[in-house]
Structure 1
C-alpha cells in the first residue's frame, strides 16, 4: 500500500506502507490526524450539505468546526493478527539447538572417551584428514607419525561405525571399509579434562619381492620396505614399472590394514601378467634355438660349450644337438623367480659333431645337462642369462 506523507511530514515524499499500518486505504495525513483540517468527521469537508429539497446550501453552523484544525482525533487501528508461524519457528529453533548441543556432547572430549573416538572417525572420513586436528586427540605418535598416517590413507569412507562404552581405558569399535568388517579395541586415557586415543595407527611392514615397485590406493606413495604408519582399511595394490606397463599383478589385489594393531607385516605376493609371461618365455625359446645354430665350440651366451679337440679342423663347423630336439618346449617356470626376472628350466642330452683335419665329421658323446634360462620382464634387456649344469 502506498501512503502519502503530507506537507507536514518530513520530506513530503511517498513511502510504501507496511503490513499492520494504521490505514488499509489511501488517506491524507499521518497517524489519523488531518494536517490541514481536511477530515471528514461525520460531515461534509467544506460545510456544504444538501437540504431537504435536495439543493446545496451553506451551513454556517458547521463552518468553524469544519475549517478548524482537528486535534486529538485518532482513527481506530485495525487489530494486528497473530502470526501462527512464530510459535512454530520458536519450537523448531529450540529443537535444533537441543540437537546441536547433543551432537557437540557426542563428539570430542566433551562426549567423554566415546566422543573422542567418534571425532577420530569424523576426521578420518574427511577427504584430506587434518593432521593438526588429529594431533589434538591422539597421543604416543608424534606430529610426524600423524602426518605419515594421513598420507597412507585408503580411498573410500568408513561406514557402519559402532563405538562402545569405555571400560578400563579401552573402547571397542566396529566399522566397515570397502564392505570389509573391522573390529578393534582402542586404548584411551584422560589428559587433564580431555580424552585422547593412544597410538591408533598400525605400524606396517610390507613384505614383497626385491625390486617390486607398487603403490597402495590413491595416495600416490610408492611403498617402502621400512615400517610406516597407516590408517586402517582396505588398500588396493597398484603395480608400477619404470619402463611402461608393469609386467606383474598382485595375487591378492588388496591388503587389509587393521586399526591399532601395533606392528604388523603384510605380504605382497605377485605373479606375471599373461602377456609378460608369454613374451618372456618366447625370448628364452628363441635364444636357445639360436644357440643350437652356433658353429663354435664355445658359443657366447649359451648354456653349453666344449673343449676344442686337437684334431678339429679350421673351421670345425660345429653342429650342436639337443635330445630330445624339442626339449625347450618342456621348460618349466622356476618358483620364486617371477615376476621381474623369470627363469625356465628343462633337461636335455647335449652333443655336437665337428669336422676333423681330414674333413671327416666326428660325433661327441652326449652329456646330460640341466639348463636354466632367465630374462628380465621390465624391458631393460632382451638378453637371456643361461646356465647349464651336469
Structure 2
C-alpha cells in the first residue's frame, strides 16, 4: 500500500492484487470489476489475500465513505476486524443468520435505488455529488465479503444463491460490491449463475484441473505452488495473469484493526440503515415497540452512554459487539428509564443524567 501504484491510483475502490512476473504491482478497481470471486485450497494464500484486499480498502477510505459487511462462518479469518467503525454490524458467524443478512442487504440495495431515483441519479457517484451540493447525507460504498461461501450454500442454498444473484446483477449502480471466497470451487458452490454474474476471478492453488476450470474456465490453477501464487482474470484480459499476492501477517491485521477501533466517528449510516442488515427475528423475544428491561447488558449500555456523553445505537453495537436490533432495544430501554433523550433521527441522543446518578438506577 505504500507503493506509488497504490498511492497514485485513481480507482474508487483500489485493490492491491499482487506483483506480476515482470515486477509490475497490480492495483485494480473493485468498482469496475464490479464483484470478485476468490478460490483456493488450504495453504494456498487465499485467506491472506482476503486480508490484503480488505486492508487496501481500509487504507483508502474512512467509515464515512466505505462500509463493510463481513460474513465468516469459519469464525477465524474475518473476526479480527470485529469492532472497527467500518462495519455495518458485527461480523456474521452463523450460516443460518447469514442468509437473512444477505436478504437484508438486497432490501438495502432496493432502498438505495429508491433514494437514487428520488433525486434523478443513475449511480452512487451522481447521488453523492448531488447530496454534497445540497447539504444532504451522502451514502458510503458497501463491500460485502463472504468467507466461506460453501458453508452458506450448504445451509441455505436457495436463499443464499438468490440473494447473491440479485446483488451481483443489480448492486453496482448503488455502490455495493461482493467479494466471495471459497476453498471448494465445485459446481454446486460456484453455480453457473453465480459465475456468469461475477466475471472477475482470483484463483490460488487448487487440487485439480477440474477445480481450476470451475473457477477460471481454464486450467492452470492446479499448477500454482501455493503461498500467494495466484492467477487473476477479469473481462478485458486475453488470459489470466500470474501474480504473487503480498503477505499480511495476523499481527499486522491485528494492529490495523486495533488502530481503527480507537477511532471515533458519528455513525449516521448505521443509525439510519443498520436495521436493514439484521436477520428476521422469530416469534420469541420482544416485538416492535416493546421495551425490554431484562437485557443483561442494560447496565453496561447505560455506563457507556454516560461515559461518552451521548447516546448512539451504532456506538453500543461496536462497544458491546451486538447487532443493531439489540442495540436499538437497549437504547429504547435507556430512554424509557430517563437516561437518554428521545431519538433525533441520525443524530446522537442527549444524555440526561450524570455518572453519580447512575447509582440511583442500578445501585
Task: Please confirm whether the aligned pair reaches a TM-score higher than 0.5, indicating the same fold.
Answer: no
Indicate the structure whose relative CO is greater, using CA pairs within 8 Å and at least 6 residues apart: 2
Q: Which of the two has greater strand per residue?
A: 1
**Which one has the largest radius of gyration?**
1
Name the TM-score, length of structure 2 as normaliser.
Answer: 0.17
Looking at secondary structure, tell me which structure has more helix per residue: 2
TM-score (normalised: structure 1):
0.17
